[in-house]
């Protein structure tokens, strides 16, 4: 395909995140904060051995989403694979399901993933990368994109990697503006996003240290990127897409008082929506509490006494106690 129409220009994309963007999470976001233009599954780790089944693929994507045409338009499937893994088997199933959009993870910095020659490691091995890209592109007729970093150890083959990815038929590139070895340290260098925009002919999606509405506006202006993807910032402010669209409509006149008011208003809505979806799949209180605590690490930094507030949520012994802290915070 030559026309990448999965999402329009200047879309705001909620990043694929392991252990977070499962089906109930994505459904809760679509219902509660529909301002997000697109969402992604967390990566499916393509196995090297064992049988690959359609059930495995459908459960990862989400059967409810698969059956809902409108939800399907807003959701894409991400995989993490290696040269030796059963990539073709997975792609064949995605093709049979008529999946619209497949994204390949070339950015995961995990030591375990990289030691098995997946994720960001592939940026350092163009032979293996080419094999994986060819396998996907020759067997998948839907839209195909990758999410990558600027390099593995360094940026020495950055331009060559971009050219390889484009030449192998990838139709869009999301670029996290750090190397694998940088992990999430320092500040993402948006100049790489600008450079990539200038070097490739496919849509370039910017990613990295885009925390607030002004950042979104600035990255669009500075880099001319097609769209923007949010990871940690989306976990901190799951309604960030709404704030940005309000910001644009209000000519940039959003102050800190408004933002804190929004946070108090939407925190309860966010957790209530997640509760509904986790209950829908039969999760017990202890599982919901564990997941809620993991989200709480990102949500309270804008409060003056954020460490105390966050600590109270992380120390909650029951789901009821956690929700009690939440309702007290709103008041």
Domain ranges (residues) in the chain: 12-249, 256-330
The predicted structure's pLDDT at residue 27: 98
Number of H helices, E strands in the chain: 16, 9
Q: What is the mean pLDDT of each run of 10 residues along the chain (331 residues)?
A: 77 96 98 98 95 97 97 97 97 97 90 84 95 98 96 92 97 94 85 98 96 95 98 96 87 70 88 97 97 92 90 96 89 51
Would residue 108 show up in a list of annotated catalytic residues for this protein?
Answer: yes
Nearest of 111, 80, 120, 302 to residue 211 by alpha carbon: 302
The predicted structure's pLDDT at residue 258: 65
The predicted structure's pLDDT at residue 1: 43
Residues contributing to the annotated binding site: 78, 147, 176, 231-232
Name the packing angle between helices 213-223 and 240-249 (round to 10°).
Answer: 70
The predicted structure's pLDDT at residue 135: 98
Alpha carbon distances (Å) from 245 to 31, 118, 266 = 17, 36, 16
Name the packing angle between helices 319-330 and 256-280 (round to 10°).
Answer: 150
The predicted structure's pLDDT at residue 114: 83
The predicted structure's pLDDT at residue 2: 47
Q: Of 6, 15, 108, 196, which is the active-site residue?
A: 108
Residues contributing to the annotated binding site for FMN: 78, 147, 176, 231-232
Architecture of domain 12-249: Alpha-Beta Barrel (3.20)
């Amino acid at each position: 395909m030559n026309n990448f129409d999965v999402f329009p220009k200047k879309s705001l994309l909620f990043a694929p995140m392991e252990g977070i963007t499962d089906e109930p999470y994505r459904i809760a976001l679509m219902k509660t904060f529909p301002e997000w233009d697109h969402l992604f599954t967390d990566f499916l780790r393509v196995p090297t051995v064992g049988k690959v089944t359609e059930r495995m693929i459908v459960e990862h994507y989400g059967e409810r989403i698969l059956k809902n045409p409108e939800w399907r338009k807003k959701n894409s499937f991400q995989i993490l694979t290696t040269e030796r893994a059963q990539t073709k088997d997975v792609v064949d199933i995605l093709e049979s399901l008529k999946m619209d959009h497949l994204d390949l993870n070339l950015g995961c910095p995990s030591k375990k993933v990289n030691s098995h020659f997946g994720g960001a490691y592939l940026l350092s091995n163009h032979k293996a990368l080419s094999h994986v890209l060819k396998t996907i592109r020759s067997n998948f007729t839907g839209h195909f994109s990758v999410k990558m970093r600027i390099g593995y150890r360094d940026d020495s083959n950055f331009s060559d990697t971009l050219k390889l990815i484009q030449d192998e038929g990838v139709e869009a590139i999301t670029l996290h503006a750090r190397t694998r070895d940088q992990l999430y340290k320092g500040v993402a260098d948006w100049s790489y996003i600008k450079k990539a925009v200038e070097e490739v002919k496919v849509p370039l999606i910017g990613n990295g240290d885009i925390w607030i509405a002004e950042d979104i506006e600035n990255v669009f202006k500075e880099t001319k990127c097609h769209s923007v993807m949010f990871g940690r910032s989306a976990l901190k402010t799951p309604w960030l897409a709404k704030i940005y669209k309000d910001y644009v409509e209000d000519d940039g006149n959003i102050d800190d008082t408004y933002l804190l008011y929004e946070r108090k208003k939407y925190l309860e809505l966010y957790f209530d929506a997640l509760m509904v979806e986790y209950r829908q799949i039969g999760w017990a209180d202890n599982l919901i509490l564990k997941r809620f605590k993991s989200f709480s690490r990102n949500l309270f930094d804008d409060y003056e006494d954020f460490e105390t507030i966050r600590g109270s949520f992380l120390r909650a012994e029951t789901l009821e106690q956690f929700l009690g802290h939440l309702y007290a915070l709103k008041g």
